[in-house]
Amino acid sequence: METKKRIAILGGGPSGLFMFKRFVDSCRTDFSITIFEKKNRLGAGMPYSAEGANDEHITNVSGNEIPELVTPLAEWIKTISKDTLDKFHIDAERFNEYKVLPRLLFGQYLTAQFDLLQKQAKKNGIEYDVRYNTVVTDIKDYAEQGLVVVEIGDEEKIEFDHVVICVGHNWPVKNEGKVPGYFDSPYPPAKLALKLNHPVAITGSSLTAVDAVRTLSRYNGTFDKDQNGKLFYKVADYSPNFKMVMHSRNGLLPAVRFHLMDSHLSNDSMLTESEIAAHIKANDGFLSLDYVFENDFKQPIRNEDPEFYERIKDLNMEAFVAEMMNLRESLDPFVLLKAEYAEAEQSIKRRESIYWKEMLGALSFALNYPAKHLSAEDMLRLQKTLVPLISVVIAYMPQSSSEEFLALHNAGVLDLITVGNDSRVEAESQGGATYYYTDEDRQQQSVYFETYVNCIGQPHLTFEDFPFESLKHKHTITPARLKFISRVEALKAIADGKDVTQDQLGDYYLKVPGVTINDNFQAVDAYGALNERIFIMAVPYIGGYNPDYSGLDFCQKASEIIIKSLLPKNEGAAVGNLNL
Ligand SMILES: Cc1cc2nc3c(=O)[nH]c(=O)nc-3n(C[C@H](O)[C@H](O)[C@H](O)COP(=O)(O)OP(=O)(O)OC[C@H]3O[C@@H](n4cnc5c(N)ncnc54)[C@H](O)[C@@H]3O)c2cc1C
């Protein structure tokens, strides 16, 4: 009798999809898979279903940038009904894989891919089960028996040998539902289908704000094109006072999407895993941020864009970020948007990348996996300098959103205010919220808005937010932390109000968001021991060790790493009745 490993995938969104694909592609049958999904549908997850999108919401990646699934997007498009295509204004014959897509349509694609993978699994003799409409409420780990128990309320307790936690997005709710006109996030966006004859405050100006703006603008006016094909916006008669005011710390808009040369995964100018491992070993167990910046950012630029390299070759990370930020901050964000839109149009037309921006995305992706080996000092530098630049440059605002932003701004209904680091928003009991901030002339401001939408994006959740209580109580998982190299720096961080602890050996640690994982995405307990049974690829809960939320390429990469631990190559390749 073949003994099969019993594996649970908890959550059937994009992470669950890529994980399942790894099993199907493994050419093995010595395991059984159970997928638990709280909804009645697989694949779409939060961003590509009604939980995260309306018809007007689009992806920020195009078909050619999507990691390989079963059918290429351009082929799948030809198989869907004309009604669906018409709904999303897509002509299958002229479909261009370099264009972004409506997110709901993309969700249909992901669901279809999950279906195809299930067919392949059946054909290959893989044992699997999908438990739809099933919410996993707790997980208990039994180290001595080598078991994990997945609980479905009080009704069911099911034993597994391994679980992969893919429960994905979670948007904490603070005031929504209690305070009228106050929204803790713009999701699900159907709730923003509101006629609002007054200014609306938005926190944030990146892609989450773009989602809110796309919805609110459609319910309070219309977009149209003039004789020259230029988009303009007209506010509706019923909302003459409608306006959206975005508030952001640095007053910047995301950079416009351009033509990307390489997917992050295929970029071979980056440091290899073994180079990084050797560097960490030689550097007292720490990854140096400067080393990664030099080798995964400046050196590739030296080869591909020598002119830009000349400009930055003598700059360290701080100096580079300051130069790029100063350039952006010195310009009106909508003037810069217009200029970047034109630059990106050329890039797309000529299929030429804007190389330094592409490399910044690649750097962020490359830093993601080894970030847990940074010293606390370097993590603080990363958070303070590089992250703000990365978050504006690699958000990649799609062309149509950029056009809409410019049209809305020209119509006087979209503004962006710089509020610095000390702003705060207070919910008002009568409804809405007051924005408190210091303006650019150093004047204190307090402005009341009847409607407020928090659009900061998916926050990095804390250890305490982790949804499976028993794992926390039994210390199966632990809060993520990074060690300080220098005691002096640790004391400075304490004085700055950072969450720093000291262990019994006297070493100082910075608490970072989420739970501790090792390089294979396995949970790590309080003694630093890895847990062979529990894998975590739900990004909001591992944000400290995995700071870049890069989306589908993350799903692809993390699932590749996890499958190597779950199905090691040298393990008895029990091929069973594999029928390829
Ligand atoms: C608004 C938005 C837009 C985005 N757009 C892009 C984009 O254009 N391109 C890109 O590459 N990336 C994009 N991303 C990144 C995106 O996060 C990932 O691509 C992807 O959604 C992550 O998938 P996931 O499966 O980890 O999480 P989710 O999409 O959140 O899926 C989690 C799944 O688990 C299920 N689940 C949750 N809890 C339980 C439970 N207790 N029991 C059972 N099931 C459960 C949920 O129902 C869901 O199906 C976007 C993110 C957001 C928030």
Residue nearest to atom 14 of ligand 1 (CA): 551
Cα–Cα distances in angstroms (integers) from residue 126 to residues 26, 163, 382, 573, in the given order = 10, 17, 43, 14
Q: Ligand 1 center to residue 168 CA distance, Å? A: 5
Q: Percent helix, strand and coil across the chain, each rounded to 5?
A: 35, 20, 40
pLDDT tens series, the chain, 580 aa: 568 999 999 999 999 999 999 999 998 999 999 999 999 999 999 999 999 999 999 998 888 888 889 999 989 999 999 999 898 888 888 887 778 899 999 999 999 999 999 999 999 999 999 999 999 999 999 999 999 999 999 999 999 999 999 999 999 999 999 999 999 999 999 999 999 999 999 999 999 999 999 999 999 999 999 999 999 999 999 999 999 999 998 888 988 887 777 665 556 778 998 999 999 999 999 999 999 999 988 888 888 889 989 999 999 999 999 888 887 788 899 999 999 899 888 877 777 777 788 788 888 888 888 999 999 999 999 999 998 888 888 788 999 999 999 999 999 999 999 998 889 999 999 999 999 999 888 899 999 999 999 999 999 999 999 999 999 999 999 999 999 999 999 999 999 999 999 999 999 999 999 999 999 999 999 888 999 999 999 999 999 999 887 789 899 999 999 999 999 986 644 433 332 2
Q: Ligand 1 center to residue 306 CA distance, Å? A: 38
Cα–Cα distances in angstroms (integers) from residue 148 to residues 7, 199, 357, 514, in the given order = 10, 51, 43, 21
What's the confidence (pLDDT) of residue 503? 94
Residue at token pair 């539902």: 177
The DSSP output letter for 297 is I
Phi, psi angles (nearest 5°) of residue 71: -105, 135
Give the nearest ligand 1 atom to 36 CA. 43
Ligand 1, pocket residues at CB < 6 Å = 10-16, 36-39, 45-47, 52, 59-61, 135-136, 166-169, 211, 458, 538, 551-552
* Whole-number Å distance between alpha carbons of 404 and 415: 13
Residue 248: its H or E element: strand 243-248
For 197, residues 6+ apart whose C-beta sits below 8 A from its C-beta are 238, 239, 240, 241, 242
Strands (E), 66-176: 100-102, 127-131, 138-142, 147-152, 156-160, 162-165
By the 10 Å C-beta count (0-12 exposed, 13-18 middle, 19+ buried), 390 is classed as: buried
Q: Ligand 1 center to residue 12 CA distance, Å? A: 9
Give the nearest ligand 1 atom to 553 CA. 11
Residue nearest to atom 4 of ligand 1 (CA): 47
Q: Ligand 1 center to residue 28 CA distance, Å? A: 27
What's the token pair of residue 156? 């069911």
What's the confidence (pLDDT) of residue 96? 79
What's the confidence (pLDDT) of residue 265? 52
Give the nearest ligand 1 atom to 170 CA. 30
For 564, residues 6+ apart whose C-beta sits below 8 A from its C-beta are 520
What's the confidence (pLDDT) of residue 4? 93
Other beta carbons less than 10 A from residue 215's beta carbon: 23
What's the token pair of residue 297? 């950012």
What's the token pair of residue 482? 């990074």
The DSSP output letter for 4 is P
* Whole-number Å distance between alpha carbons of 354 and 149: 49
340, 254 in Cβ contact below 8 A? Answer: no
| Nearest CA among 98, 108, 78 for reference residue 90 | 78
Q: Ligand 1 center to residue 466 CA distance, Å? A: 16
CA quadruple 565, 571, 573, 574: dihedral sign: negative
Residue at token pair 């390089």: 519
Q: Where are the alpha helices (DSSP H) in 382-511?
A: 387-393, 399-410, 469-473, 487-495
By the 10 Å C-beta count (0-12 exposed, 13-18 middle, 19+ buried), 151 is classed as: middle
Give the nearest ligand 1 atom to 53 CA. 1
* Whole-number Å distance between alpha carbons of 318 and 359: 17
| Nearest CA among 200, 359, 206 for reference residue 295 | 359
Q: Ligand 1 center to residue 467 CA distance, Å? A: 15
Q: Ligand 1 center to residue 47 CA distance, Å? A: 6
| Nearest CA among 489, 527, 523 for reference residue 508 | 489
pTM: 0.94
* Whole-number Å distance between alpha carbons of 222 and 250: 30
SS3 119: helix
Q: Best of 152, 552, 555, 562 to mutate for ligand 1, by most ligand atoms within 8 A of CB?
A: 552
298, 309 in Cβ contact below 8 A? Answer: yes
Q: Long-range contacts made by residues 67-74, C-beta under 8 angstroms, separation at least 24?
A: 67/18, 67/263, 67/265, 67/552, 67/553, 67/555, 67/556, 69/17, 69/21, 69/110, 69/113, 69/117, 70/21, 70/113, 70/116, 70/117, 70/120, 71/112, 71/113, 71/116, 72/97, 73/97, 73/101, 73/109
What's the confidence (pLDDT) of residue 266? 58
What's the confidence (pLDDT) of residue 89? 86
Phi-psi sector, 188: left (phi>0), alpha (psi -120 to 50), beta: beta
Residue nearest to atom 39 of ligand 1 (CA): 167
